[in-house]
Amino acid sequence: MKERQQEILVIGSFMMDLVVRTPRVPEEGETIIGLSFNRFPGGKGANQAVAAARLGGKVAMAGKLGEDGFGDAFLSVLEEESIDSAYVLRDVEAATGIGSITLDEAGNNRIIVVPGANMNYNLGELGEIEDVIAQSGIVMLQLEMNLDVVCEAVNLAHKHQVPVLLNPAPAQKLPDEMLAKVTYLTPNETEAKILSGIDVVDAKTAGKAAQALQAKGIKNVVVTLGDKGALVAGETGTEYVPGFPVQAVDTVAAGDAFNGALALAVVRGQSLAEAARFANAVGALAVTRPGAIPSLPTRSEVDQFMLGRK
């Protein structure tokens, strides 16, 4: 077996989250007084990389930051989390990506993303890390980058027989040719509907959507259902994996926490259902804390949480 440089290679986005907490979301044309403002490092790629690293994973990340203070802050975060940043590039023209987030008192969020430098990561730069992809245990991808880059990353991983976990967010249509090379697809209800054409409202309809996606050639589909858990569909059939009820404070990074945990669990040999239960616990813990990266739990916290709920 070829030697792995890292268990997980995340090719993805960096977004500095600018978060306004408010009693409620304002109506069109309305101004209201907010409760607080905070700045948190985030972005689906960075969130998922940190989620896996805090759980004990050996993680590397590839992507692009601006030559600015937000970019410097992200490199510090990666260093603090022991994530290999050797494949993170800087862009002299575009700024580091940002996310503008409005968060109400119930923990619900509205998000506007300005990708910035993330969209400037190009095919040539991706090609330079083909050897890194080939020596990874699993490659994690999202859709906050140029879609051509994401598709080519899937192709390169497939070429070297490296599993791919694709979190198809933000939601959009994707080429069937690319989806057929994905090992693990992790849509939420909205994303599953867009990709399968089936309205997902519960575990039963999630199962139908997952089967429709498997018919496109995807080996494993995990439909995330928020606090209700997840529906997993693999080679042995479909299974509903219940979630862990908690009091939500901030749902911003819940899906990213889930994905980072799922990737680590499957690369370490857990069954898809076992991996989803572990990921459900990580996602549940994340929503009990504010922020994106600051909310992501450690392995000891997750183990303790799950031990109390057996």
Please give the positions annotated as active site: 256
HSE (CB half, 13 Å, CA atoms) of 290?
16
Q: Which two tokens stand for residue 236?
A: 């042995």
Q: Which residues pair with 242 in a beta bridge?
A: 229
CB neighbours of residue 41 within 10 Å: 22
Produce one character per residue of 140-166: b if its CB has 16 or more CB atoms within 10 Å, e if not. Answer: bbbbbbbeebbbbbbbbbbeeebbbbb
Count of positions (residues) in the chain:
310
Residues 144, 142: Cα–Cα separation, whole Å: 6
308 by Cβ neighbours in 10 Å (0-12 / 13-18 / 19+) ranks as: exposed
Type and span of the H or E element at 264: helix 254-267
